[in-house]
Structure 1
Amino acid sequence: MRNKKWNNVALAIVMAMVLSSCKVGRFVYYNFADIKDYKKFPSRAVVSNDTKFKFHRTDKGKYPQSLKTDKERVSLEQLLEDNNTVAFLIIKNDTIQYEKYFNGYDQESVIPSFSMAKSITSILIGCAIDDGLIKSVDEPVTNYIPELARNGFEKVSIKHLLQMTSALDFSESYINPFGEAASFYYGRNLKREMFKLELKGEPGKKFEYVSGNTQLLGLVLERALKNKTVTQYFQEKLWTPLQMEYDGSWSIDKKNEGTEKTFCCINARARDFAKIGRLYLNKGNWNGKQLVSEKWVRESTKIDTTEGGVDYYKYQWWLPSTTGDFMAEGILGQYIYVDPSKNIVIVRMGKNNGHVNWSDFFMLLAKYPEK
């Protein structure tokens, strides 16, 4: 009887918590990030036009039919499927040399980017600098978000946000329903949550990967744009010029006058994500038109350990080696990998990471000869 009483008390406490916070309720209901999350949130659309860029195709790409693991030799296709891959593309010399879909997915399936959106947000910051909307990465973020001045952000620059050295006090835990990550992902008032943010140290001293940096970059961009949404700028600067094959979307926190979740949540098809890689493979140039400056592409993806930076991360891009390759990465094993020296783009989308070190795997595949 006593146990039943305490169980009822515990249930009442949990229900009170859930009812007092829609965010916590959504966290409890959805539990964790999922590849179908694009269906859970409101979004703004980006629309393809009549002119669509399509990669050349070949079935003669010389990629290994089988790979040796610790225990046995398995086929490439089996390895991908066994590790919860839903889409895998290898594009070399502008030609799709390998394209496979798994688990009921195909080339028309929408897949959320998760944190690959961070790299795209970085591109848009570069476009805004090119357009004169943002003066410099050295500007303090309070030039655009004066609400943070009371929290001591005058010393935080746009560069600190880009390279994750802002000293932001932010929990990146996705299993804590009361943490900042849950508030940003499941909450319905991103601006309110951003204005609460504080610092835990001096900017420019230490790298720490936290999504709050990229969401602040999104607000910097929004404020710089003034009369456009981030999605509208995305459409103008990238989606239309890249001649995307399909429509896409960017998830927002609420339906009316919502804020884009710039730390995550661009929803698109694998082939269209590959075009982001092709743009950076070609130093920001798309078929003769410079969409973002070559200087920005170079600055975004070079190794730089100054001001607290690390040799494996730059402006929202991961740097898996010292050879000039770079990649966008999302929490469930979403990747756009680019190796300019091999003229290769690899896209991997998954339900989760599986048990593969994907960056090492991409570098291995990049070494194989073309057709």
Structure 2
Amino acid sequence: MKRSWRAAVLCAFVGASASASEPLSRGEPEAQGVSSAAIREFVLGADAIDSFHSVMLVRHGKVVAEGWWAPFDAETRHALFSLSKSFTSTAVGLAAAEGKLSVDDPVLKFFPEDAPAEPSANLKAMRVSDLLRMSTGHQDEPKRPDDQVWTKVFLGHPVPNKPGTHFLYNTSGTYMASAIVQKATGQTVLDYLRPRLFDPLGIDDPEWGASPQGVSLGGYGLSVRTEDIAKFGQLYLQKGRWNGKQLVPEAWVAAATKLQTSNGSNPKSDWEQGYGYQFWRARHGAYRGDGAFGQYCVVMPEQDAVLAVTSAVKDMQSVLDLAWDRLLPGLKKDALPPDPAAREALAQALRNLKMKPPEGAAAPGSSVKAVGRTFAFEPNPRKLEALRVEQGGANEGSITLVLRVDGAERRIPCGRGEWTKSRAAVAGFPEQPAAAAAAWTADDVLTAKVVLVESPFNVTYRIKFEGDRVTVDPEVNVAFGATRGAPLVGKAE
């Protein structure tokens, strides 16, 4: 089996490296057996949640619906978070096919320099496959501190359970899989996948963060576009074949997407249908890669369909419930009669997708002295030193929010009723592409929302002016911890 995998991968590599693939082809929903009305109901349900960023549905290899909620767009990469894990799994499968490693290899084999002086029996028994199926034997996930070697921390962490017997979602385990690929091939997972996966699929300029040791993060950190997610899902739906070439061994696709570890029994939860090699099993015979706050690559073999979604939701199950309840019934076995009215209604819904900007007046109340004044803040953990609101911009009521943070001035242009794109560094996030909108939601309250368009995150500033005082109350929409802190109070200079 290993020789056949290796031959397939090498042939695919030689044939595919010469040119990138075309975009996915497009098709009419009804011609592909999909009800436009059902897609529209799904899109309207997603729009009501007000946290979707993009959606793309592929049926029989053709994109039958696609849309982006402004200010998000088709050309901008989006952080995948744990959906990255499925790409790392693919790298392990390709390295195994090339004979660089085996899923049966002990993890300790690759890191003798980082191993404890006296490894436990359970640590010695931990294999690459245990990393992939989230059954390392840990009781809790090892940390990834910036000032230590992550592989050494992982290997020094207690392993109280026999590997293979205990499911624990373990992002550090995926990082170890990435580090193993780098040890075995001499390349980061990002560089290793470029000619073998990204280039053949036409995934341009993927970005993947790295650890302090220069290892691709593996379990998170990859950023690609919505269509790239759909292409990846379509590759797996086609059992690893792309444009007539076997990019990923069919045997690996089967192993990675089947149940490898049981993780619960709730029939209504898509998180308790079992786990494969960095893929979740799902209801309705589907499987998926997914990431925090609602990044999805859902593969539906029984329906010959792929659903790609980027979003910023707190309830990830709600996205899948919406797909199963509204979208799935519209996927029919045979082509449907043309339905021009439903098709146009769907097209209109997709054209009008937009995140809701703050709604309110173009200017503060006449007695409120806010615009053009600089307000200073005492030293604080957020390092906000000063704030000023300047009038003017792309349309009536546009403003520029001027912040001085840690000695640096940051200007954030905000449209009114529409999104104005720029670059911004807000709420502790590094400077990156952003879009912002603002409105006076009360006579003395300016509400500004800054959307970080390459991520799920946005920051809403509620700024209240009271005479010579200003109170700034920022809130992040989603987070792994608290979404808001104590308000900051400043005084006019």
Q: Which bracket does the TM-score occupy, shorter chain normalised? A: 0.7 to 0.9
Does structure 1 residue 199 correspond to structure 2 residue 159?
yes
Aligned to 1:96: 63
Greater relative CO, 1 or 2 (CA 8 Å, sep 6+) = 1
Aligned to 1:313: 275
Q: 1:356 & 1:59 partners in 2: Cα distance?
A: 29
The one-character-per-residue Cα deviations of 1:22-41 (angstroms, maximum 9, x if unpaired) are xxxxxxxxxxxxxxxxxxxx
Q: Give SS of 1:241's match.
A: helix
Aligned to 2:187: 228
Aligned length: 302
Aligned to 2:234: 278
Does structure 1 residue 114 correspond to structure 2 residue 81?
yes
Q: Residues 201 and 80 from structure 1, CA distance in 2 versus in 1: closer, same or farther, beyond 3 angstroms?
A: same
Q: 1:132 & 1:302 partners in 2: Cα distance?
A: 22
Q: Residues 354 and 103 from structure 1, CA distance in 2 versus in 1: closer, same or farther, beyond 3 angstroms?
A: farther
Aligned to 2:110: 144
Q: Residues 140 and 197 from structure 1, CA distance in 2 versus in 1: closer, same or farther, beyond 3 angstroms?
A: same
Aligned to 1:24: none
Unpaired runs of 5+ residues, structure 2, are: 1-16, 266-271, 337-493
Does structure 1 residue 300 correspond to structure 2 residue 256?
yes
Give 2:208's aligned amino acid: W
Aligned to 2:313: 352
Q: Residues 107 and 308 from structure 1, CA distance in 2 versus in 1: closer, same or farther, beyond 3 angstroms?
A: closer
Q: Residues 271 and 352 from structure 1, CA distance in 2 versus in 1: closer, same or farther, beyond 3 angstroms?
A: same
**Of the two, which has the highest radius of gyration?**
2
Q: 1:188 & 1:53 partners in 2: Cα distance?
A: 43
Q: 1:168 & 1:98 partners in 2: Cα distance?
A: 42
Unpaired runs of 5+ residues, structure 1, are: 1-47, 68-73, 172-178
Counterparts in 2 of 1:317-332, with a 5 A limit? 317-321=279-283, 323-332=284-293
The one-character-per-residue Cα deviations of 1:170-214 (angstroms, maximum 9, x if unpaired) are 34xxxxxxx82xx36x77853454344331322121111121111
The one-character-per-residue Cα deviations of 1:222-276 (angstroms, maximum 9, x if unpaired) are 1111x322211010211112122x321111134xx62211010111100011111
Selected match of 2:301 from 340, 356, 366? 340
Higher strand share: 2
Aligned to 2:137: 167
Q: 1:351 & 1:188 partners in 2: Cα distance?
A: 31
Counterparts in 2 of 1:62-73, with a 5 A limit? 62-63=34-35, 65=37
Identity of aligned residues (%): 25
Q: Give SS of 1:345's match.
A: strand
Aligned to 2:26: 57
Q: 1:333 & 1:140 partners in 2: Cα distance?
A: 33
Aligned to 1:175: none
Q: Residues 361 and 145 from structure 1, CA distance in 2 versus in 1: closer, same or farther, beyond 3 angstroms?
A: farther
Q: 1:170 & 1:305 partners in 2: Cα distance?
A: 17
Q: Is the 8 A contact 1:151 1:198 kept in 2?
A: no
Q: Residues 51 and 291 from structure 1, CA distance in 2 versus in 1: closer, same or farther, beyond 3 angstroms?
A: closer
Q: Could you tell me how far 1:85 is from its partner in structure 2?
A: 0.6
Higher helix share: 1
Q: 1:187 & 1:95 partners in 2: Cα distance?
A: 47
Counterparts in 2 of 1:36-55, with a 5 A limit? 51-55=20-24
Q: Is the 8 A contact 2:181 2:187 kept in 1?
A: no
Q: 1:122 & 1:50 partners in 2: Cα distance?
A: 24
Q: 1:307 & 1:204 partners in 2: Cα distance?
A: 12
Across the aligned residues of Structure 1 and Structure 2, the Cα RMSD in angstroms comes to 2.9
Query: Structure 2 length normalisation: TM-score?
Result: 0.56
Q: 1:114 & 1:65 partners in 2: Cα distance?
A: 31
Give 1:286's aligned amino acid: W
Q: 1:356 & 1:317 partners in 2: Cα distance?
A: 16
Does structure 1 residue 242 correspond to structure 2 residue 201?
yes
The one-character-per-residue Cα deviations of 1:140-164 (angstroms, maximum 9, x if unpaired) are 1111122235443211011111111
Q: Residues 64 and 151 from structure 1, CA distance in 2 versus in 1: closer, same or farther, beyond 3 angstroms?
A: farther
